[in-house]
Amino acid sequence: MDAKIICLGVLMMKDATGYEINKSCTEGAFSHVQRIGYGSIYPTLEKLLEEKMISLSGDDNDDNTHSKKIYSITDKGKEYLMRKLQKNPAASKYKSEILFSLCFSDYLSEAHAEFLLELYLKEVKNRISFLEVEPGGTPMTAGRNFVRGLGIKMYSSAVEYILENKKQLIEEIKENNRKG
């Protein structure tokens, strides 16, 4: 999904600053389904402003010396988002540097493979914990609840698979290392 759709999606849930949009994709509601580069957010917001798909307002801070730029989706932005969401999305992708490294476990030491598995387990368990907490500040729609539940199930299955198969992988690595 492109940055335009992601920004509009976040703003559909609530008005937000650029920082909050980024946070929602790195630590918030969309962190397990979408990524957006921080460097993409502000140029995208500027383009959306020019296209009148979002509006901008300032919010005075407590010290009344600085104001935050708060973005809101407009009716035009909502219509555009709804049209785009009705189209067939690209195929889902799952990217993981840890899993990529494990593809080459034949060339890793047992200790490093175990380290990678433990690191991945920790990462996945953290994602489960994150998803299990009710999100604050945004409404929990039926769709978001469904995706949240699916994420918990997928990550839980990954934990189960790793725990059931870790020993076999390590044994195969030991055997390969013995053969030299």
Which pLDDT does position 138 carry in this prediction? 67
Residue 67 predicted with pLDDT over 70: no
Angle between the N-to-C axes of helices 3-13 and 75-85, in degrees from 0 to 180, rounded to the nearest 10? 120
Which pLDDT does position 19 carry in this prediction? 87
3-state secondary structure at position 163: helix
Supply the pTM of this predicted model.
0.70
High-pLDDT (> 70) share of the chain, %: 86
Angle between the N-to-C axes of helices 3-13 and 38-50, in degrees from 0 to 180, rounded to the nearest 10? 80
Structure tokens at 16: 């937000």
- The partner residues of 73 in beta bridges, in order of sequence, read 54
Specify whether the CB–CB gap between 158 and 124 falls below 8 A.
yes
The more confidently predicted of residues 65 and 34 is: 34
Least confident of 44-48, 126-130, 158-162: 126-130
In the chain, domain spans: 3-85, 97-179
Mean pLDDT of 39-50: 92
Amino acid, single-letter form, for residue 23: K
Tokens 């699916």 belong to residue:
150
Which pLDDT does position 32 carry in this prediction? 62
- CA–CA separation, 129 and 135 (whole Å): 12
Q: pLDDT grade, residue 162 (50/70/90)? A: very high
Mean pLDDT of 63-68: 58
Q: What would the CATH number be for the domain defined by 3-85? A: 1.10.10.10
Which pLDDT does position 29 carry in this prediction? 64
Residue 74 predicted with pLDDT over 90: yes
Which pLDDT does position 90 carry in this prediction? 79
